[in-house]
Homo-oligomer: A and B are copies of this chain.
Amino acid sequence: MSRRQSRGTARERLAHQLRSLRAARSLSQEALADLAELHRTYVGSIERCERNVSLDNVERLAAALGVDIQDLLSPL
């Protein structure tokens, strides 16, 4: 029924894709944090949907996972 568009908020999408892609690579939050040069707890809080992340950091996470920025914002 043409649900406009918006399968999940940006935060939810990022959180989900992050978890999913990270798991697919068998990385711990800590390991991913290192790759992205971010803090362990920060990455955790993103996955818990608690943060309103800025583009620059989304970009770093994408780079760390070897995917495009858009991939981190794929609809649920």
Contact = CB atoms under 8 A, between A and B. Distances in A.
A45 to B, nearest CB: 13
Contacts of A55: 10-11, 14, 52-55, 58
A26 B53 CA distance: 30
Contacts of A74: 70
A75 interface: yes
Interface residues of A, number: 24
A41 interface: no
B56 A11 contact: yes
Given A11-B55, A54-B54, A70-B74, 13 more contacts: A4-B66, A6-B63, A10-B58, A10-B69, A11-B56, A13-B69, A14-B55, A52-B54, A55-B55, A55-B58, A68-B75, A70-B75, A73-B73
